[in-house]
Amino acid sequence: MRLTIQAGIVGLTKTKQQLLDSEYTNLQLFLKGEKDARLYSANKQQALRYYKIIKPDREYPISLRNDLIDLKKAKRFWFLKIPVAGQRGGIKVPIKPHRDIPSEGKLCESKLIRKDKNYTAMLTFDIPAPPVRVPSSILAMDLGERFPATAVLLQNGSVMKPKFMGGEIRGVRRHYGWLRRRLQEKGLLKDVKRIGRKEHRIVNDVLHKVSKAVVSLADQTNSCIVLGDLKGIRKRRQGKRLNRIMSNMPCYRLTQMITYKAMMKGIPVITTSEAYTSRTCHICGCEGERKTQGLFICPYCGEYNADLNGAINIGKKVERWIGYIPFHGVEVSEPALNHTSECGSPWL
C-alpha cells in the first residue's frame, strides 16, 4: 500500500535556498516553453512525462525520481537528497515530517512543492499493508451537506453511538463565500485567491479531525466502515441552489481520508449505493418524506433525523455481510431497499 508523508524543508542555507529556487523557477519556465531553462536532466524528463497540459497561471511541483532521492537520519533530523542543476550529487536538506517515517517500506517517486517561498516534500512510500480484520459490527456513515459525516454503530441488532461531525464546515463555507463576493465586487482578485487557500486549509483540518475520529471509533468497536457511494451525484440536475451546495460538499476528500487512515489500521471499508436510503424509514422500510434538510417523516413511525435515518439504512444494506469482508474498498451492490404502500419490515 502507498503512504504519503508531508515533510517541510527547514533550516536551508543561503546556497541551498538559491539552488532550490533556481531549480523550481526554471521548471516553471521550461513548462511554459523556455526549452533552454537550466534544469536537472531527470527533473526535465519527469516534467515531460507528467505535465501534458500546462495552465499559465499555475505552478507545478518538481517530480523527484525515486532512484535519485535518498532519505537518511542523522541524530535528531531526517535529511533528504534532492537532485538539482549545478550541484553534482544533489543537495541534502533537513526535513520535518508531519508523522513518523515508516521503518519498513520503499521510498517511491515523490514531489517537491513551493508555497510562499517555503518548500514541502510529499514523500511517497510503498509499505506492507496490515492484515485486514474480521469485524464484529458496522460503523455506517451518511455524507451530507449540513453534517459532512453522520456516523452510527450497528451492533447485535442495536443502533448505538450516533455522531454528527464536521458541522462547522457549513459556517466556514458560508463565511468565506460571503467574503469572496465582497472582494470580487472590489476587484481584489489576489485577496480572493489568498482567502480561498485559507478556506481550503481550514476545511482540510476539520476533515482530518473527522476522519481520525471515525477511524478511531471503528478501531475501538472492531467495526467495518460503510460509506455511501456518491458517484455521479454532482452530474445530476437538481436546480441551481442544490447544485451549488453539492459542489461545496467535500465528500470525496473525506472518503479518501477515511479510507487511507482505515487501511493503516487494517479496518475494512465498504461502499454501497445510497439509492432510497434518504427516503426510506429505517424502522419499517416504508417510503417517507424528507420534509426539510434535517427532518425525515415516516407515515407510520413519525419524525426522525434525516441524516441519521440515512446512515442506518446504509449500514443495514450490508449488515448481512459481517464476517465475510476479505479486503479494503469492497463495493457492495445490493437491491434497492423495499418500500411498500403499507407498513412492513424488510429487515426481519
Greatest extent of the chain over all pairs of C-alpha atoms, in Å: 78
Cell of 347: 429487515
Phi-psi region of 97 (alpha: psi -120 to 50; beta: other; left: phi over 0): beta
Does 249 reside within a domain? yes
Q: How many CB atoms lie within 10 A of CB 143?
A: 26
The pLDDT score that the predictor gives to residue 9 is 94
Q: Are residues 82 and 226 in the same domain?
A: no
Does 204 reside within a domain? yes
Exposure string of 71-95, with b = 16+ CB inside 10 Å and e = fewer, is: beeeeeebebebbbbeeeebbebbb
Residues 192 and 177: their CA atoms lie apart, in Å, by: 10
Beta bridge partners of 303: 297
Q: Are residues 154 and 291 in the same domain?
A: yes
What is the per-residue DSSP string for 124-188? EEE-PPPPPP--SEEEEEE--SSSSEEEEEEETTEEEEEEEE-THHHHHHHHHHHHHHHHHHTT-
Q: Are residues 99 and 142 in the same domain?
A: no
Q: Are residues 98 and 148 in the same domain?
A: no
Residues 138/319, Cβ–Cβ less than 8 Å? yes
Residues 38 and 47: their CA atoms lie apart, in Å, by: 13
Does 337 reside within a domain? no
Q: Are residues 99 and 141 in the same domain?
A: no
| CATH code of residue 10 | 2.40.280
Q: C-alpha 112: how far from its chain's center?
A: 20
Q: Are residues 119 and 148 in the same domain?
A: no
Q: Are residues 93 and 211 in the same domain?
A: no
Q: Domain range spanning residue 100?
A: 2-126
Q: Which of 106, 126, 146 is the last residue of a domain?
A: 126
Does 311 reside within a domain? yes
Does 246 reside within a domain? yes
Per run of 10 residues, the mean pLDDT along the chain (length 348 residues) is 90 93 94 90 92 87 93 88 92 91 89 90 90 87 85 84 88 89 86 86 92 93 86 52 55 88 90 82 83 82 86 82 48 39 34
Does 149 reside within a domain? yes
Does 346 reside within a domain? no
Residues 179 and 101: their CA atoms lie apart, in Å, by: 39
Nearest-CA neighbor of 347 among 274, 285, 281?
285
Q: Are residues 181 and 258 in the same domain?
A: yes
Q: How many CB atoms lie within 10 A of CB 118?
A: 11
The pLDDT score that the predictor gives to residue 122 is 94
The domain tally of the chain equals: 2
Residue 308 DSSP SS3: helix
Q: Are residues 290 and 235 in the same domain?
A: yes
Q: Are residues 149 and 283 in the same domain?
A: yes
Q: How many CB atoms lie within 10 A of CB 26?
A: 21
The pLDDT score that the predictor gives to residue 93 is 94
Q: How many CB atoms lie within 10 A of CB 243?
A: 14
Phi-psi region of 159 (alpha: psi -120 to 50; beta: other; left: phi over 0): beta
Q: What's the half-sphere exposure (Cβ side, CA atoms, 13 Å) at 196?
A: 11
Q: Are residues 156 and 265 in the same domain?
A: yes
Does 347 reside within a domain? no
Q: Are residues 273 and 204 in the same domain?
A: yes
Q: What is the pTM of this model?
A: 0.74
The pLDDT score that the predictor gives to residue 299 is 84
β-strands 110-115, 87-97 pairing: unpaired
Amino acid at 248: N
- Give backbone dihedrals phi and psi of 43, rounded to 5 degrees, phi first: -65, -35
